[in-house]
Amino acid sequence: MNDFMQREIMITEDGSHTLFVPELKEHFHSIHGAIQESNHVFIQNGLFKSNKQKLVVLETGFGTGLNALLTLINRGERDINYFSIEKYPLTAKEYKQLNYPVLISENLQDLFLSLHQCEWNKEAEIAPGFRLTKIQADLTEFGFKDLPYVDLIYFDAFAPGKQPEMWTESIFSKIAKHTSPRGIFVTYCAQGEVRRTLTRVGFKMQRVPGPPGKNEMLFGEKTDSCYSV
């Protein structure tokens, strides 16, 4: 593992785990509660805001697998094709220690492990109606051309102050060009410059209430005029 991504498991305020990266002095999830943050940002304000029954999800940063797990168990009758881009996958020793399945439901351990243990860069059917493709790649170099057009984006990179190269107009523009009309973009970040940049590339952005410990987050929809095939 690159020294840059050495990680330590920590407990957040809702009892769920996060990972801490000493080099960045940054956590994977909110210290106020990893599960409640992911539920609020990506499920309540992302998945549940889309009315599509067949949904292509793009996640930037597979990380602990928490967003994928919550999407899987909250999908209802939807058919979901889930893509996640991650440069530094967790080791088996790391993900096997994470306590999300225990806290969410006693029957989730096998599903959670299947999310992590399925092969990288290859589609896997995790459960009926939920297909996962984990892509090991650097988002700054990723081309998107081999992905279907996406309906929902979970932008979950480290904060702009820690990894500014992940929050550029170039990356947002590539994502926008590969997003279907009225596709949804959500992120825990609420910075004004991030909102303005996303607006420039074709998302209609707004600040909405954030999860515990954070006043606001960003929610946006792709404008039809910027859609191209």
Predicted structure pTM score: 0.94
Q: Which of 118, 68, 131, 64 is nearest to 96 (CA)?
A: 64
How confident is the model over 42-55, as pLDDT tens digits?
999 999 999 999 99
Q: Yes or no: say if 217 and 41 are a contact pair by the CB < 8 Å rule.
A: yes
Query: What's the CA gap between 16 and 63, in Å, rounded?
Result: 15
Residue 47 Cα distances to 36, 90, 156, angstroms? 15, 25, 14
Q: Is the dihedral of CA 59, 25, 140, 188 positive or negative?
A: positive
Q: What is the CA radius of gyration of the chain?
A: 16
What is the arithmetic mean of pLDDT over 77-106?
95
Query: What's the CA gap between 146 and 201, in Å, rounded?
Result: 21
Helix axes 109-117, 66-73, angle to 10 degrees: 130
- End-to-end alpha-carbon separation of the chain, Å? 38
Instruction: Write down the pLDDT at residue 226.
Output: 47
Residue 82: CB atoms within 10 Å: 26
pLDDT band with cut points at 50, 70 and 90 for residue 186: very high
Instruction: Write down the pLDDT at residue 2.
Output: 45
Answer whether residue 173 shows pLDDT above 90: yes
Domains of the chain: 36-226 (3.40.50.150)
